[in-house]
């Protein structure tokens, strides 16, 4: 399975080889088991403003800016975009609800995988649409000595978020590597689309309620059913792309 996925990627992009030097990680739903909190917060915030968005739908919008998510729902339901004031109010409500929920734990398998990546001398890079001020402290507490400030792409580093490829292209630049020297690890359809659009080998980890086909249809090169699943298969995968 791994050999075929790698061969197809190389043929499609006309690369002679995959020579891994960096691993580009999404955050929510990959490093932290936080998407269920985001989904619940979006659902409740929308309801308070008489908009309908199921928790499951939140997974489809993961990676978008808050304004874009709100406007998609508003346009669908009201046939018009939300005002700037309403966008600010809804997003503030969503953030307050999210922050009131229990803090998300590390995604099972994420720490173990990062330890293997670090041991191999590979560069881990964070690529997230989040703009949380406490992001670095949170990562350092959960994944000590793994993510360096200069190897992080956040909402403040890009003009266009996922599914635009800019976040992952910026991740390549921060890691100082070429397209065929990195892989993307993503759980969200829009994030997978961004990684594929950047031309990077993209690994999907299905840690949410979406069907596998939803992630595969976005072009994921490989799919695992959890971060632990990817961790357990890491050695077999890595020996093929050194």
Res. 149: pLDDT tops 90: no
Q: How far apart are CA 81 and CA 98, in angstroms?
A: 24
Report percent pLDDT > 90 for the chain: 81
Q: How far apart are CA 59 and CA 55, in angstroms?
A: 7
Q: Are residues 186 and 124 located together in one domain of the fold?
A: yes
User: Residue 166 sits in which domain range?
Assistant: 2-34+107-238
Q: Are residues 147 and 169 located together in one domain of the fold?
A: yes
Q: Are residues 176 and 130 located together in one domain of the fold?
A: yes
- Check residue 111 and give its pLDDT: 97
pLDDT tens-digit profile of 40-75?
999 999 999 999 999 999 999 988 888 889 999 999
- Check residue 133 and give its pLDDT: 64
Number of domains in the chain: 2
Angle between helices 35-48 and 84-100 (to 10 degrees): 130
The predicted model gives 205-224 an average pLDDT of: 96
- Check residue 152 and give its pLDDT: 92
Which of 83, 100, 117 is a domain's end point?
Answer: 100
Q: Are residues 50 and 90 located together in one domain of the fold?
A: yes
pLDDT tens-digit profile of 69-114?
999 999 999 999 999 999 999 999 998 999 899 988 999 999 999 9
- Check residue 132 and give its pLDDT: 65
Q: Are residues 119 and 223 located together in one domain of the fold?
A: yes
Q: Are residues 30 and 131 located together in one domain of the fold?
A: yes
Which of 100, 119, 151 is a domain's end point?
Answer: 100
Which of 75, 100, 125 is a domain's end point?
Answer: 100
Token pair recorded at residue 114: 């990062």
Q: Are residues 139 and 180 located together in one domain of the fold?
A: yes
Asked whether 141 and 109 are in contact (CB, 8 A), the reply is: no
Q: What is the CATH number of the domain that holds 23?
A: 3.40.50.1000
Q: Are residues 127 and 50 located together in one domain of the fold?
A: no
Res. 119: pLDDT tops 80: yes
Res. 134: pLDDT tops 70: no
Tally Cβ neighbours within 10 Å of residue 20.
21
Q: Are residues 7 and 122 located together in one domain of the fold?
A: yes
Tally Cβ neighbours within 10 Å of residue 48.
12
Q: What is the CATH number of the domain that holds 80?
A: 1.10.150.240
Tally Cβ neighbours within 10 Å of residue 217.
12
Which residue is listed with tokens 């000595």?
145
**Model pTM?**
0.90
- Check residue 26 and give its pLDDT: 95
Q: Are residues 112 and 187 located together in one domain of the fold?
A: yes
- Check residue 85 and give its pLDDT: 96
Q: Are residues 61 and 162 located together in one domain of the fold?
A: no
pLDDT tens-digit profile of 153-183?
988 888 888 999 999 999 999 999 999 999 9
The pLDDT-based confidence of 135 (bands split at 50, 70, 90) is low
Task: Give the chain as a DSSP string.
Answer: -HHHHHHHHHHHHT-S-----EEEE-SBTTTBS-HHHHHHHHHHHHHHTT----HHHHHHHTTS-HHHHHHHHHHHHHSSPPPHHHHHHHHHHHHHHHHHSPPPPBPTTHHHHHHHHHHTT-EEEEE-S---TTHHHHHHHHSTTT--GGGEE-GGG-SS-TTSSHHHHHHHHHHT--GGGEEEEE-SHHHHHHHHHTT-EEEEE--SSS-HHHHHTTT-SEEESSHHHHHHHHHHHHTT--
Q: Are residues 49 and 147 located together in one domain of the fold?
A: no
pLDDT tens-digit profile of 221-240?
999 999 999 999 999 999 99
């Amino acid at each position: 399975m791994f050999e075929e996925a790698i061969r197809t990627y190389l043929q499609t992009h006309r690369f002679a080889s995959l020579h891994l030097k960096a691993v580009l990680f999404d955050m929510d739903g990959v490093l932290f088991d936080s998407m269920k909190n985001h989904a619940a917060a979006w659902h409740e915030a929308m309801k308070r403003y008489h908009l309908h968005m199921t928790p499951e739908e939140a997974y489809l919008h993961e990676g978008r800016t808050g304004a874009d998510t709100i406007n998609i729902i508003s346009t669908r339901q009201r046939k018009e975009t939300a005002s700037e004031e309403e966008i600010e109010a809804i997003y503030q409500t969503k953030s307050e609800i999210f922050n009131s929920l229990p803090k998300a734990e590390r995604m099972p398998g994420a720490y173990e995988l990062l330890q293997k990546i670090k041991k191999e001398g590979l560069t881990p890079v964070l690529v997230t649409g989040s703009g949380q001020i406490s992001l670095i402290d949170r990562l350092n507490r959960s994944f000590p000595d793994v993510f360096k400030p200069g190897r992080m792409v956040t909402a403040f580093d890009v003009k266009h978020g996922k599914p635009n490829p800019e976040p992952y292209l910026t991740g390549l630049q921060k890691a100082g590597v070429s397209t065929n020297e990195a892989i993307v690890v993503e759980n969200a359809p829009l994030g997978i689309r961004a990684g594929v659009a950047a031309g990077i080998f993209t690994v999907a980890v299905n840690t949410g309620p979406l069907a596998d086909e939803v992630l595969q249809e976005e072009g994921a090169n490989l799919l695992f059913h959890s971060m632990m699943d990817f961790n357990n298969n890491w050695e077999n995968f890595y020996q093929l792309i050194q």
